[in-house]
Structures are given as C-alpha cells and as structure tokens.
Structure 1
Amino acid sequence: MDWDSLGDPSFGEPERLPGQGKPVYRAYGDGRFDVEDFIQVTYQNIWNRRMLGAVRDAYIPQMRFHGSTNRTYYGRGQFQAYILSMMAMFPELALQIEDIYWMGNDDDGYLTAVRWRISGTHRGNGIYGAPTGRPINMWGISQHRIIDGKIHEEWTLFNEFAVMQQIYRD
C-alpha cells in the first residue's frame, strides 16, 4: 500500500462545513405543505442521494431553469441532464444548504431563496475541461417559484470563474 497517497486530497469524502456532519434527510411533516422541508428533501434527494427521480416529484414537466452564464433549460429532461453533467464532473460532490428564505402562501404560491455550498473533486470531463483531480468549493444561490407544491421556475447562480480558478490554479 502506498501510504503517501493518504494525504492526497483527491481521495476520500469531501470535507463538510465546520461542525457539520453528513446531510440530514428529513421527511415531510404532517401532510401540510412545508416550504423548508420541501426544499431540504428535494435538494438532499437530488444532489446528495443521487435520486434523479425526485426531479419528477418536485418540478412540473414544463419547468424552466435559469443558470449561470445564461444557461436556460426547459423541462425536467434538460434539467436532469444538467444535474448529471455536474455529477459527472464532480462525482462525489456534496451539497450543503446553508440558509433557506421564503415568502408566500398556499393560495398564491411561494418564492424561495436557498444559499448552498457544494464541495467535490474535478474528476470527470465536462464544460470545465479534462479532469484535474483538484478539489473545489462552490457557493451559490437558487431561487424558486413554487405553485401547488411543485417548482415551476428556478434561478441558480454561482461564480463559475471562481470554480475554474480552483480547477486550473498553479
């Protein structure tokens, strides 16, 4: 066994936020729509548990996604392809929700803002080029328009330039 590889940051699980363990998987409460639980469960299932079927459960078929660098996807299929591309580039990525803010009601719908962090290692091909084995931390915010318990539209922003700086640093 090569004991020198134990210090290699490309091995092992990504570090969590200080004081944080692995994500908690919460179930829906008492049958009432709970915005925070809905967002927590949706993000944990999709990003940390890799359950892409949760996209069908949480988003309407004709959903619209607006992402960094003017990416726009229409429908759950294109959105799932985007998620898969991120997971292919960062196979062990771990997402941590830092804050959830929301306003609205069951009749008019809800608007949410979710601040999150992703950590992972660039191990797959994709829009950021060939794998480098470099660890990354990505901070971002996502906003959602939720009507009748489903996400109709999502806006997600993160600093892609900062991600590329981490991947291609000297």
Structure 2
Amino acid sequence: MNDVIATGLLETSIERVWNERDGDKRLAAIAEIYHPEARIHEPERSITGHGAISNTVAGVLADMPPGFRFEVTGPTLGHHGVAVTRWRGGPPGQVIVSGADAVRILDGKIHEHWFFFDPAREG
C-alpha cells in the first residue's frame, strides 16, 4: 500500500465527509473514499456501511454550532495501509473538540476508521 494513498484518504475523509452538510454530496464522497463494508469505531459504538456513516456525520454536524468545521492539525503519518492524524473542530477561531483518527485501507479505500477524542477542555 502506498503511504501517500493511506494518508491522503484519511485527510480527504475529514474534509469531504466529516465537514459535508449536504447528504447527497456526503454519500457520494463516502462511496469514493470508504470501502463498501467500511466500519467506524467511536469509543462508545461501532457502525458499518455508507448509510450509517452518513447518518452519523449528519448527527455530529447537527449538534455543532454554525461555522463548525474539522481540520487536520497533522502531520498525517502512514505505512502498511494504516494512517493516523491529529485534528480539531470548531467554528472559526474556536476549538471545541480535538483528537486523533486512525484508518486501515483495504482495496484502496478506508475499511476501518477509529476516532480518539481528547478529554474535554475545562472552561
């Protein structure tokens, strides 16, 4: 597996899937980036499939304030079909959530995607 493919897919998923509020555009991006049997793993649950991923993203973004976006804070590193990166999310000038993601690539697409969240920031 080309390390550039793994790291590129992870960064692209954050930009084109996890920031996309339009459901049709998000599903199209998921189909390009995620394996048909893709699984995402959050600390409290795991889900499988493009529709479930899209619904999860929609729920996350619906709970966020106007202008909220995720951004890679990197560097994104990868080898042997696995990539990891750091990220943060919030409206412009504010960080309300941060953490790290890891993905495993299968057949040139993300097959598994793990989310790790930093502890909540104190006010």
Query: How would you bin the TM-score normalised by the shorter chain?
Result: 0.7 to 0.9
- Structure 1 residues not aligned, in runs of 5+: 1-32, 105-109, 122-134
Give secondary structure in 2 for the equivalent of 1:162: coil
Q: Deviations over 1:61-107 (max 9, x none)?
A: 21111102x21111111111110001111153111101111112xxx
Match of 1:158 among 113, 117, 123: 117
Show the counterpart of 1:38. 9
1:156 and 1:97 map into 2 onto residues whose CA distance is 13
Show the counterpart of 2:86. 115
Match of 2:72 among 97, 103, 123: 97
Q: What does residue range 13-162 of structure 1 map to in structure 2 within 5 Å?
A: 34-50=5-21, 51-52=25-26, 53-68=28-43, 70-90=44-64, 91-99=66-74, 100-104=76-80, 110-120=81-91, 137-159=96-118, 162=120
1:115 and 1:42 map into 2 onto residues whose CA distance is 13
CA RMSD of aligned residues (A): 2.3
8 A Cα contact 2:40 2:114, kept in partner: yes
Q: Larger radius of gyration, structure 1 or 2?
A: 1
8 A Cα contact 2:10 2:103, kept in partner: no
In percent, how many aligned pairs have the same letter?
Answer: 25
Q: Which has the higher strand share?
A: 2
- Structure 2 residues not aligned, in runs of 5+: none
Q: 1:46/1:103 Cα in 2 relative to 1: closer, same or farther (>3 Å)? A: same
Higher relative contact order (CA 8 A, sep 6+): 2
Extract structure 1 runs of 4+ deviating beyond 2 A.
33-42, 47-51
Offset at 1:136? 5.4
Corresponding residue pairs, total: 113
TM-score by length of 2: 0.78
Offset at 1:57? 0.8
Q: Deviations over 1:34-85 (max 9, x none)?
A: 33333333321123344312111111121111102x2111111111111000
